[in-house]
Structure 1
Amino acid sequence: MKKLILFALLCIACRFSFAQQASENYRLLLKEGWNMQSAVTDQSTGAKVSNTGFNTGKWYKVSVPTTVIAGLLANKVYDFDPFYGRNFERLNDARLDKPWWFRKQFKLPGSERGKNVVLKLQGINYKANVWLNGKLIADSTQVVGPFRIIELDITKQIKYNSPNVLAVEVKRPFDPNKRGGDLAIDYADWIHYPPDFNNGIINNVEIKTFRKVGVEYPLVTTKFDLPSLAVAHLEVDAIAVNYTDEPQDALVKGKINGNSSFEQKVRLLPRQKKQVTFNALNYPQLNIKNPRIWWPWEYGKPELNRIQLSIHSSGKISNELAENFGIRQVSSVMIDSNKARKFIINGKPIMLRGAAWSPDIFQRRSKERQEQELKLVRDMNMNIVRSEGKLEDDNFYAICDREGLLVMTGWMCCGAWQYPERWDAAKRTVAMASDSSVMYWLRNKPSMLTWLNGSDMPPRDKKVEADWLSIEADLKWPNPTIASANETPSKISGPTGVKMAGPYDWVPPAYWEADTGKYGGAWSFATEISPGPSIPPYESLIKFLPKDSINTRSLDWLYHCGTMQFGNTRIFDSALYARYGTSASIIDYLNKAQLQNYEGHRAMMEAYGLRKYNNATGVVQWMLSNPWPSLIWHTYDYYLYPAGTYFGMKKSLEPLHIMYSYKSNGVDIINSTLRQYNGLQVKASIYNLDGTLKYTKETTAEVAEDGTKECFRFPMIDGLSDVYFVRLELKNAKGKVESINWYWISGKKDELNWKKSTWYYTPQSNFADYKALGSMPKTTLNINSSTAKADAGGLYNISLTNTGKTVAFFLHIRMLKEKGGDDILPIIFEDNYITLAPGESRTIKCRYEDKYAGKGAPYILVNGWNIDAAGSKTGEHIGIEK
């Protein structure tokens, strides 16, 4: 009996695992065991390279996907860290602009004999000649474009139960940022270009088998009888393919969640691909009652359902597949005279606030890294990730599906993709085939929100946009399609309802509410926007900058900024010095930078949240992450260190959030959930620099689901210091604290010189003055911690009490691997860079996985703006950094 129970549990576990990923009855993923070499170093012919007797002893061992430089780095060809200082320039190699070979030997089992065999290439950057077993099966006029899915019938060339050799000769793209460049991966002004231009195999290579016919690319779309969600009317589409030169009669069968069976006969002409549709009108079983609905995480559970499809020929099954899908309905409407596009999911409007994803500069992908980064996205309470033409792999989208994160993606700026009027016939073919491939690939993923047919502008060639729209309609892209991420109306599809009006460099917190209709302030849907640099802490800087180069004018510092207008931190630094004072040391500069990062990013997200659905519908921070260690445009740095920007973002995006309005001098509540809150307890306190309580007010409030509420405005208060603190606290009706938020306010205000605005920032005519923070009275802390085990990692409760008479300002908690050691990364802090009133205590939860913690005893280190370390008390394994 025990064995039977164990067997049953194993079966359940297997079914659960199966339900979490796409699966097919025969799929050979060619990932490991490749060899790579320059065609300059080894000048052998393709016929010879693809022969089983070929010697690869002097070739590099790689796994696929990989670019050339990624493969060389994996083989430790370079004896330096390319990210340190300006070492990136040392990657230049005469071989990098020449073709490279990628070779893989594999076996196909005899059980697949007699079937049609297909080689699927999902990402070749940029062109390739493909050889199999000594034969050229496709040349570089056929295999071209990194976003195309190329399927090659290799039935006649394949061997069974003996080695096959696949050899792919990949040619680097012509600089995609130049006139006449290729439709490849582009980067624009945020990093230096890798010298191989990401030449290589950048997505999966796999073998599939079919018995004459096949079924591919399922799509399940949903219609609700809104506002009711009681019944989901599903439509199932798939592509049936005839892999033979003869007509075939086939039967396509399907199931939803293991039941709700349906089937349809289909007649396929020789080599025909045909869309097969099952709709709820003709198949009543596709009217699903009480469906398990996929929601963005703020609104509910991102429930995943399962579609299973198979195709049969001559009474025999040819192939079958299964993958997850979401029962959800996405649409959009225009508001504010077509200036803003509002997205609606399952009948509910959603305010979209997130950041722009960037993959590793060398296109190195890691499931572990994707999990780590997307966990940070969710921890910041973001609900959307934008991917500008840097398409990820299936695992990335599967995580987003699972976590309820939305994805905005589309074609990229700023090179060849942006100028279709310059394309010749060959590039037009690549562009259209790429669009078809991406639609097939991404259309069934529930995390997909929208597709952009352009980035910085709509396609100038009207026929290109029209053709893309036709493809997207034919392939039933189930979500809104937008001409570009820019506000320029399309001559084909009209107003976009989104904008790219900047800024991309520092602007003060007051900017976001002050501008209500011309620049980058809180109106419309800002698809990319930022208050500029995000300076990493010292602990990260020393990993990629020589210590004697950690200053804002060094060549190494400038090299790790962006390019062009963004090749320095001058605008950010000028504001920092004017507002917080010149820095006595680099540590002083970095501490002040975290303040400015925190307040700038928090205010941006708060302003958009406060004006949601009035005339603001979304905001995407440019960017989420960096493809290499950088000083600009990120929420966490390349080493996953969460600093000032991160916690300013996290604070502003709390599901139930209390905030200070720089425009109204008042207190507001932002509710980002589908729950109405009644009986909320609101408390505001104002403290002078010396800790004197100058004002307090308590009131109650209600806020509608996904709504905002103005609570009150502050009166004139006598006797305020030049800089003072506003402490806001929000409790629910049961007295549980939902949000604590601190602001530091200057009697002298930031003022903007609107007339001198540029596309990337608005200069200031006057600056707030926070210099008095530098002479705050000292205070003391008591710090203790308790630990627990949770989720195969450490869970710490870190308790801090301000035992002094003044405010304890901007306390930063770090968790080290051991005393004097490196920070544990990645790590999740419930809150950080916190401020405490005199006598106030807070307990902050901290979580990490043991595998990132090292072998020593974890050590808590706290620093703050005005902490007297000598007079403070700490528990075991806790220190205060001076």
Structure 2
Amino acid sequence: MTNHRSLVLFLLALPSLLFAQSDYELNTGWKCQAIGKVHATGERLSQAGYSTRDWLDATVPGTVMTTLINNHLEPDPFYGLNNDKTPDIYTTGRDHYTYWFIKNFKETSGGQTWLDLRGVNYGCDIWLNGHKLNEQTHYGMYLRQSYNITKYLAPKSGDNRLAILVYPPDPVGNPNGGQGGDGEIARNVTHQYVAGWDWIQPIRDRNTGIWDKVTIHHTGVVRIRNPHIVTEVSGARLPDVLAKDQAPAVLRVSAELENTSTDTVTGTLQYMVDGEPTFALVKLAPGATKEIRLPYHIIMHPRLWWPNGYGTPELYHTTLSFADSDTIPLDFGVRELTTTWNPTTHSRELQINGQKIFIKGGNYIVSDELLRLSPERYDAEIRFHRDMNLNLIRVWGGALTERPEFYAACDRYGLLVFQDFWNSGDCNGRWEDPMKKEDQWTRKRYPDDHNLFIASAADQVKLLRNHPSLAFWCGGNEITPPEDIFHALKDSIIPTLDDTRTFFDYSNSDSMSFNNLGGNGDGPYGVQDIKTFWAKRTFPFNSEVGSVGMGDYESLQRFIPKEHLVAPVYHQKEDEVFNYHKYIGYDSSVYAYGPIKDLRDFAEKAQLVNYDQYRALMEGFSSHMWDWYTGVIIWKTQNPWTALRGQMYDYYLDPNACLYGLHSGSEPLHIMYDPVAGMTMIVNNTFRTHRDIMMQVQVLDMSGKSLMHSQQFFEVGPTVAKNYLPIGHLLDQLRSTEGVFLSLRLLDIHQQIVSDNFYWLPDSTGNYSGLRHMPPSALTIEASRAPQQPAAQNTPGAAATRITVTLKNPAGGPVAFFNRVSLIDPGTKQRLLPVFYSDNYVSVLPGESKTITLDYTPKPGVTPQVSVRGWNLAEKTYPIK
């Protein structure tokens, strides 16, 4: 047997062996076949002699449905009524979507080799080279698996075969049209939306598959697991203080070490920050797993992490290593989260680095209903949320604990995360529901395996807890889990594994938001009179409130067959494809802009409603921050499918006017008009007082003539919403005949615009009669390419190209109203996606210009052009200089 000293020397000499082959992901070259077509055992299938010549090319990570679609065996479920052409697992039986997956891989590492699976839905058995790795079938969508496969590898040839049999959830649930179908999908520890919801059709295989990463990890005899990073930032800090002037912060790091050998091992666990090492000498008994807490590290000049709109989300990147046996990334942000109970609003209030944060959030389901997840798509979606000027994303409880790549994007862009666990009031028994198979008492005990839920929750907390963006854990969507699970989460898992974050009992519970002040709960949902958002009080930390969200005609063409591209008619039944894609009606709101000609016209007018709705939503809630509200979370900001509701951008990552209405209404320093009180207001969601701020108020008619102009200097304090000028009575007079435009601006002492808000107000009947006969604008466009933009640190994808587009409106004419800028492929005339616009749906006053920037990743062989169209501007295409 190797003695202690010689083993230590072995560890020190290990790099030439251990890192001769780096870690890698098994994400190509997979084959799969339905269980009914396979008659061999796992032992036989996992040996090289078994032929897979007639098997399908499999998508891993992915689901069975993704593989079938990629092999053209099932149609695209996002288009038209195609989803109904695929057989549902409830009808076919589970074997129809039970599949074998096989992967051949080369492995010659001389150290310890680990097979890690980050997510399989729902059960699996695993064989390698004729050996079964798991003694019992693995169950649970969220529970990670890790196997030391060193002794099963082919030592001479290095040719290895992995065979995994994946089973669907059981039961699969009846997709009967209810929320989560008949609710039985919730008997599993899995996501619930797959049985259908009011914003999505059922996923036919219930997302059965190896849906998350499969990786090979190399170590010496000791492996590092589950690092835990905690940062402590004392006192009240400010984001505009240079790091050299910041008071110190404390960093606490711990990790589990697993000794796979039969010998005692001694070594050093260490990491380095800003050139300063922190380490601990560790002694591990044979076969032991031990949590090691390193000494506190004092960061003398910390670069602090702040949420979007309040400061820069600074990040640190280092590594944690044990001797030369294992090294893992150690990424973190220096910040401290605390919450207090606001006695005025009667709701939870969040502080970061000692400063209170008004929550402006969006509800998020999942990036793709078929779990086609990627760092690039995550980056785009989170960047869109950053561009909306939001600072939080709630991950809804009927979906996932989101992936580390999602959280990494939130870390980069400063988006806080409110993470639900896997329950919903719909499936888990909050309400009596005739669509459900079992009664409320039975459903309240879902899932069937409570221990599996608890183990999965603890594992996911360990997976995600180091991300600075993670702010809240939540027991579930609109309901707590069963009592034993709830207490395990609240009293054990979170306090023990992640004691720096607040746990909410459920998403609209009294622990988060106490509705005792005459409010009407969460919501409203759907199109509203914009005064509602200002005047009707709701939950003081509203977890769900929203409106409409249909895309424009270009968006609709991507998934609606030509014969169904027909405008909805108020008070009439929708087209079957619109209905299938969960269209939520605009009621009479679009008719205020004039008669509807066709679907293109309807969709263009819908964008005006979209912009107005979401600007008013965020302005109305912000106007009452700290007296009515401590936060608001929009239901919802995106769709994982081609649904026709609740989205700021469509599934194809094409933004609509909702995004830019939010972009305006959520900006950190914002001027706005209160339509109830008739006052101009300033909302300051920053931590500093803005002095010598000039407020400009201008009213224009449809011809562009200025009817009223006023400007005054003001001062606005930090984190406040404040009334300034009463203009409502004058506006009512000026707009009575045909409506007017209202331009509100804030200028700094250098005469630079720091907030620019442009309203179109209806006439006294509520119609926009003046817009119907506006003269055309003479807008001119100049587009030019800016220098190449480097990719941000740890951002996936290539370096971005930036284009500047300047819109000039000559004096003497009308406002150039509501102009949409697009980047297009001149060959196909289709929009390039995704593209990130600094602003869009912009209006330009007579004699003025506006410049917006476009960031995109170039596509080979495409020289893009810029397209611009507006309410009073015919669409034109322009070359880029």
Shared fold per TM-score greater than 0.5: yes
> Match of 2:657?
644
For 1:339 and 1:543, the matched residues in 2 are separated by 45
User: Which of these residues, 548, 551, 567, is aligned with residue 536 of structure 1?
Assistant: 551
Pair 1:254-2:270 in alignment: yes
Alpha-carbon distance, 1:546 to partner: 1.6
Kindly tell me: are residues 376 and 699 of structure 1, through their superposed partners in 2, closer, same or farther at Cα, counting changes over 3 Å?
same
User: Which of these residues, 829, 840, 843, is aligned with residue 847 of structure 2?
Assistant: 840
Q: How does 1:429-578 map to 2 (within 5 A)?
A: 429-461=451-483, 464-489=486-511, 501-516=522-537, 519=538, 524-531=540-547, 533-551=548-566, 552=568, 553-561=574-582, 568-570=583-585, 572-577=586-591
> Match of 2:438?
none
The runs of 5 or more residues in structure 1 that have no matched partner are 1-22, 281-285, 562-567, 749-767
Alpha-carbon distance, 1:622 to partner: 1.9
Q: How does 1:663-702 map to 2 (within 5 A)?
A: 663-702=676-715
- The 3-state SS of whatever aligns with 1:851 is coil
User: Which of these residues, 768, 781, 785, is aligned with residue 784 of structure 1?
Assistant: 781
- The 3-state SS of whatever aligns with 1:201 is coil
Pair 1:241-2:250 in alignment: no
For 2:828 and 2:691, the matched residues in 1 are separated by 48
The CA deviation string for residues 187-238 of structure 1, in whole angstroms up to 9 with x for no partner, is 1332112101010012122233444432212122122331365011221111
Q: TM-score, normalised by structure 2?
A: 0.85
CA contact (8 A) 1:487 1:500 kept: no
Alpha-carbon distance, 1:470 to partner: 0.2
Kindly tell me: are residues 854 and 603 of structure 1, through their superposed partners in 2, closer, same or farther at Cα, counting changes over 3 Å?
farther
CA contact (8 A) 1:799 1:843 kept: yes
> Match of 2:4?
none
- The 3-state SS of whatever aligns with 2:383 is helix
Alpha-carbon distance, 1:642 to partner: 1.9
For 1:260 and 1:669, the matched residues in 2 are separated by 45
Alpha-carbon distance, 1:103 to partner: 1.2
> Match of 2:108?
109
- The 3-state SS of whatever aligns with 2:133 is strand
Kindly tell me: are residues 45 and 675 of structure 1, through their superposed partners in 2, closer, same or farther at Cα, counting changes over 3 Å?
same
Pair 1:609-2:622 in alignment: yes
User: Which of these residues, 316, 324, 328, is aligned with residue 305 of structure 1?
Assistant: 316
Alpha-carbon distance, 1:430 to partner: 1.1
- Work out the number of aligned pairs and report it: 800
For 2:762 and 2:714, the matched residues in 1 are separated by 28
Output the amino acid matched with 1:103: I
Alpha-carbon distance, 1:794 to partner: 4.5
Alpha-carbon distance, 1:259 to partner: 4.0
Output the amino acid matched with 1:183: V
Pair 1:91-2:86 in alignment: yes
The CA deviation string for residues 1-29 of structure 1, in whole angstroms up to 9 with x for no partner, is xxxxxxxxxxxxxxxxxxxxxx9995342
The runs of 5 or more residues in structure 2 that have no matched partner are 1-18, 174-179, 238-245, 431-441, 569-573, 790-799
Kindly tell me: are residues 448 and 216 of structure 1, through their superposed partners in 2, closer, same or farther at Cα, counting changes over 3 Å?
same
Pair 1:324-2:339 in alignment: no
Of the structure 1 ranges 409-418 and 640-649, higher mean CA displacement relative to structure 2 is found in: 409-418
Of the structure 1 ranges 391-400 and 811-820, higher mean CA displacement relative to structure 2 is found in: 811-820
User: Which of these residues, 245, 248, 264, is aligned with residue 231 of structure 1?
Assistant: 248
> Match of 2:807?
799
- The 3-state SS of whatever aligns with 2:276 is strand
Output the amino acid matched with 1:29: E
> Match of 1:392?
402
CA contact (8 A) 2:514 2:540 kept: no
Q: How does 1:643-662 map to 2 (within 5 A)?
A: 643-662=656-675
Kindly tell me: are residues 376 and 24 of structure 1, through their superposed partners in 2, closer, same or farther at Cα, counting changes over 3 Å?
farther
Alpha-carbon distance, 1:822 to partner: 1.3
Alpha-carbon distance, 1:630 to partner: 1.8
Aligned residues: percent identity?
27
CA contact (8 A) 2:550 2:644 kept: yes
Output the amino acid matched with 1:305: Y
Alpha-carbon distance, 1:411 to partner: 1.2
Q: TM-score, normalised by structure 1?
A: 0.84
CA contact (8 A) 1:418 1:456 kept: no
> Match of 1:16?
none
> Match of 2:346?
339
For 2:849 and 2:95, the matched residues in 1 are separated by 55
> Match of 1:763?
none
User: Which of these residues, 729, 743, 755, is aligned with residue 727 of structure 1?
Assistant: 743
User: Which of these residues, 57, 62, 71, is aligned with residue 61 of structure 1?
Assistant: 57
CA contact (8 A) 1:487 1:496 kept: no
CA contact (8 A) 2:414 2:469 kept: yes
> Match of 1:760?
none
- The 3-state SS of whatever aligns with 2:609 is helix
Kindly tell me: are residues 303 and 344 of structure 1, through their superposed partners in 2, closer, same or farther at Cα, counting changes over 3 Å?
same
Q: How does 1:38-49 map to 2 (within 5 A)?
A: 38-49=34-45
For 1:136 and 1:820, the matched residues in 2 are separated by 52
The CA deviation string for residues 563-587 of structure 1, in whole angstroms up to 9 with x for no partner, is xxxxx433x224434x445523222
Pair 1:150-2:145 in alignment: yes
Kindly tell me: are residues 781 and 52 of structure 1, through their superposed partners in 2, closer, same or farther at Cα, counting changes over 3 Å?
same
CA contact (8 A) 2:672 2:757 kept: yes
The CA deviation string for residues 263-317 of structure 1, in whole angstroms up to 9 with x for no partner, is 335555665433222343xxxxx122112222224233222224533335xxxx4
Kindly tell me: are residues 209 and 875 of structure 1, through their superposed partners in 2, closer, same or farther at Cα, counting changes over 3 Å?
closer
Alpha-carbon distance, 1:62 to partner: 2.9
For 2:773 and 2:736, the matched residues in 1 are separated by 11
CA contact (8 A) 1:338 1:495 kept: no
Kindly tell me: are residues 496 and 640 of structure 1, through their superposed partners in 2, closer, same or farther at Cα, counting changes over 3 Å?
farther
Which structure's residues are more often strand, by fraction?
1
Alpha-carbon distance, 1:682 to partner: 0.6
- The 3-state SS of whatever aligns with 2:558 is helix
User: Which of these residues, 347, 354, 370, is aligned with residue 362 of structure 1?
Assistant: 370
CA contact (8 A) 1:439 1:477 kept: no
Structural RMSD (CA): 3.1
Output the amino acid matched with 2:105: F
> Match of 2:212?
203
Of the structure 1 ranges 155-164 and 396-405, higher mean CA displacement relative to structure 2 is found in: 155-164
User: Which of these residues, 611, 614, 617, is aligned with residue 598 of structure 1?
Assistant: 611
